[in-house]
Amino acid sequence: MNGVKVLQVVGYKDSGKTTLIEYWIQLLVAQHLRVAVIKHHGHGGPLDMPSSETDSMKFLESGAVSSIVVGGGVVQMHMQYETEYAGLLNMAIVSDPNLILIEGFKQANEPKVVIVRTKEEWASLHTLTNIILVMAYEGVEMDEDYDVIDISDKIKIKDWMVLFMNGVKDTRDFS
C-alpha cells in the first residue's frame, strides 16, 4: 500500500460516520484525489442484492464464489463469503486510491477517528487502538488527552483532513 493512507471512522449507529465520510470524499475529490471506502455492514442480516434476474446474481446462485460485472466504467463484484479485513484492503487498492476510508472494523489497528455523542459512548470507545482524533457532539467532555473537534465544525474538520493528507503527524494545533 505504498503511498496510500488508511483512516478508520468509528462510532455507534447513527453517530454521523457516513455523513463525515461523504463530506471528506467530496472534499478530497474536489482536490483531484482518489478515495476508496470500505464499510462494515453492522446492521445484521445480508446486504441488499441486485435482482435475482441479473446475470451476475444468476452466476452466484449457480454456485460461483464470485461474480464480477464490468460496464460503463463501473466494476461490480459480489462474493459468496466474507473476506478478512486485509483482503478488503487489497481489493480497495485495485482502484489506486490516495486514501482508503474505513467505516467500522473497530478492532483494526489503523489510525482512527472516533465519533462520540455521549460520555458513555466515549467510555466504551476510548480503549480502541490508534485513536488520532475524536469528534464529539456538543456537551461531551473528554478526560483523556486527545485532539477533539466539535462534530458540527466543518471548517476544523476540513482543515484536519488537509493536514492528515499532507502527512502532518501532530494535528493538535491545526486551528
pLDDT over 60 (residue 171)? no
Please report, in angstroms and rounded to a whole number, the separation of the first and last CA atoms in the chain.
Answer: 30
d(CA 37, CA 26): 13
Q: Mean of the per-residue pLDDT values for the chain? A: 86
C-alpha cell at 106: 473497530
Which residues neighbour 117 within 8 Å (Cβ) at sequence distance 6 or greater? Answer: 11, 12, 15, 136, 137, 140
Neighbour count for residue 102 (Cβ, 10 Å): 25
Q: What is the pLDDT of residues 91-121, one digit of tens each?
A: 899 999 999 999 988 999 999 999 999 999 9
Question: Looking at this protein, which amino acid is placed at residue 159?
Answer: D
pTM listed for this prediction: 0.85
Distance of CA 106 to the CA centre of its chain: 10
Nearest partner of 147 among 156, 155, 138, judged by Cα: 156
Question: What band does 175 get if pLDDT is binned at 50, 70 and 90?
Answer: very low
Note whether 4 and 67 are within 8 A (CB): no
User: Cα 47 to chain center, whole Å?
Assistant: 17
Contact by Cβ (8 Å): 26, 37: no
Helices (H), 14-153: 17-30, 55-61, 85-93, 119-125
Q: What is the mean pLDDT of residues 122-126?
A: 91
Question: By the 8 A CB rule, do 78 and 57 touch?
Answer: yes
